[in-house]
Structure 1
Amino acid sequence: MFTGLIQAIGTLTHSSPNQLTIQWAGASHPAMADIALGDSIAVNGICLTAETVLPQGFVATVSPETLDRTALGKLADGSRVNLESSLRVGSKIGGHFVTGHIDGQGVLEAATATDNAWTLSFTVPDRRVARYIVPKGSIAVNGISLTVADCSPSGDWFAVAVIPVTYRETTLQDLRPGQSVNLEGDVLGKYVEKFLQAEPGLNGAQSEGPGRDMISPDFLVEHGYG
């Protein structure tokens, strides 16, 4: 589990078609200093396992599924990547819950500087992630926890407002129009979707929760969501 708050920037090298070496130079976040064998680290939002620990980096293997679903295989050697170590008990959660399991890819449409922020817009051809994009909802873009400022009704387009420190301290500044990014929708939305799709009598048992037709504004108020 991660939070979407980037702790360091690393450089990616393809050691082999299915193996990556991630390294960083100079000072990095303290969380990167004590990486141990088997630790989970999010690389551009993808949860990878440290199989070999280097003085300032690690080596990880990526599965064919990961290469197929994410933009990792499109990155050239030397590309910069966002890094975050897994959430620790007692740590602050300043972003949102991020699992490190990518739903699909998006494409940067435009990046526009405003007076005090950057506005980035993305197209989302992959319906696996588009359906979880809602106004003011959370979205992880290359592992960065962001808030959806605007989106189309279907979620196949969305925009985010990025403050200067986030733009400066992550690889968002490296993106160019037409470049693919990894997207992970809010895990809470996925559970809600599953809940609404549940049918009475599933697995031979009567469902204890309300069916889709029973969820109404009155029901939500009654259960503390008003």
Structure 2
Amino acid sequence: MFTGLIAALGTLDAFSDGQLRIHYLTGNALAISHDLAIGDSVAVDGVCLTVESILPQGFVAAVSPETLNRTSLVRAWEQQRPVNLEASLRMGGKIGGHFVTGHIDGIGCLDLAEMTGNSWEMTFTAPPRQTQQWGDRIAPYLAAKGSIAINGISLTVAECDRHRTWFRVAVIPHTYQETNLSRLSPGEWVNLEGDILGKYVETFLSQGQRIATAASNSSTSADPITLDFLSQHGYQAGHH
């Protein structure tokens, strides 16, 4: 579990045999490395990875083909783009953002970034030819003033359109400069994770709807309760 507060930037040095080597680049790398142990979880651009070995200035993590297919890690490596790093939440630690699981829902891409007042407004939408994935995995969890993790960064949705085909976030200068958001160009991909609370709400509502539908179908298809019905099922009318 993570909180979406990025501690450092890193670079992806190499892929080989299901392993990914991460090198610390900038930021408070000690927040990642000071008590890092084999088996620990680290969020790399929002993707929860397991540490398999520790290097002098980084670590090696296990990565599955499914993870590579569903995230932007391969593109970050190909473009030599820095990745955001966050160590897992420790018991009793501060929760400064929101609960982030590190399980990516889907991919988005930067549409527009512009400076307005004292913050950056950044708009994200579906990458080309991935609107179905966006509609299934991202759109259901978009809500104005709701939380979303972009490359592992805890942010608040400032605005989204009625059909939730895009959303906008306001990013303060500190977050913009200390994460890889400042390195993004329009069209570049990002990892997106919806708020886990929204997912639970959706599950509860879906289950409630299914139960209500089943009950409605059952009541409409049931035989009417008549004397003949009761007699067929063993009921004997009393005599007075």
- TM-score tier by shorter-chain length is 0.7 to 0.9
State the Cα distance separating 1:65 from its structure 2 match.
Answer: 1.2
Give the structure 1 partner of residue 22 of structure 2.
Answer: 22
Give the structure 2 partner of residue 105 of structure 1.
Answer: 107
Mapped to 1, the partners of 2:26 and 2:113 lie a distance apart of: 29
Tell me the secondary structure at the aligned position of residue 131 of structure 1: helix
Point out the structure with max Rg over C-alpha: 2
RMSD: 2.0
Give the structure 2 partner of residue 34 of structure 1.
Answer: 35
Give the structure 2 partner of residue 200 of structure 1.
Answer: 211
* 1:168 maps to 2:177: yes
**Which runs of 5 or more residues in structure 1 are unaligned?**
207-226
The residue identity in structure 1 corresponding to 2:65 is: P
1:27–1:181 CA distance, 2 compared to 1 (3 A)? closer
- Spell out, residue by residue over 1:110-138, the C-alpha distance to the aligned partner (whole angstroms, 9 max, x if none): 11012211000000331211210110100
Give the structure 2 partner of residue 60 of structure 1.
Answer: 61
The residue identity in structure 1 corresponding to 2:63 is: V
Mapped to 1, the partners of 2:186 and 2:49 lie a distance apart of: 27
**Which runs of 5 or more residues in structure 2 are unaligned?**
216-240
Mapped to 2, the partners of 1:95 and 1:68 lie a distance apart of: 27
Normalising by structure 2, we get a TM-score of: 0.80
Q: Is residue 131–residue 154 contact of structure 1 (8 Å, CA) maintained in 2?
A: no
2:88 to 61, 65, 86: 86
2:160 to 146, 151, 170: 151
Give the structure 1 partner of residue 195 of structure 2.
Answer: 186
Total equivalences in the alignment: 204
Tell me the secondary structure at the aligned position of residue 181 of structure 2: helix
Tell me the secondary structure at the aligned position of residue 67 of structure 2: helix
Q: Is residue 141–residue 181 contact of structure 1 (8 Å, CA) maintained in 2?
A: yes
Query: Structure 1 residue runs of 4+, over 6 Å off?
Result: none
| Range moving further from structure 2, 130-139 or 119-128 | 119-128
Mapped to 1, the partners of 2:141 and 2:73 lie a distance apart of: 22
Tell me the secondary structure at the aligned position of residue 177 of structure 1: coil
State the Cα distance separating 1:23 from its structure 2 match.
Answer: 0.9
Q: Which has the higher helix share?
A: 2
Task: Name the % identity.
Answer: 58
Give the structure 1 partner of residue 9 of structure 2.
Answer: 9
| Range moving further from structure 2, 173-182 or 17-26 | 17-26
Mapped to 2, the partners of 1:25 and 1:194 lie a distance apart of: 40
Give the structure 2 partner of residue 130 of structure 1.
Answer: 139
State the Cα distance separating 1:73 from its structure 2 match.
Answer: 1.4
* 1:177 maps to 2:186: yes
State the Cα distance separating 1:76 from its structure 2 match.
Answer: 2.8
Mapped to 1, the partners of 2:84 and 2:26 lie a distance apart of: 15
State the Cα distance separating 1:4 from its structure 2 match.
Answer: 0.2
State the Cα distance separating 1:31 from its structure 2 match.
Answer: 2.4
Tell me the secondary structure at the aligned position of residue 197 of structure 2: helix
Q: Is residue 136–residue 150 contact of structure 1 (8 Å, CA) maintained in 2?
A: yes
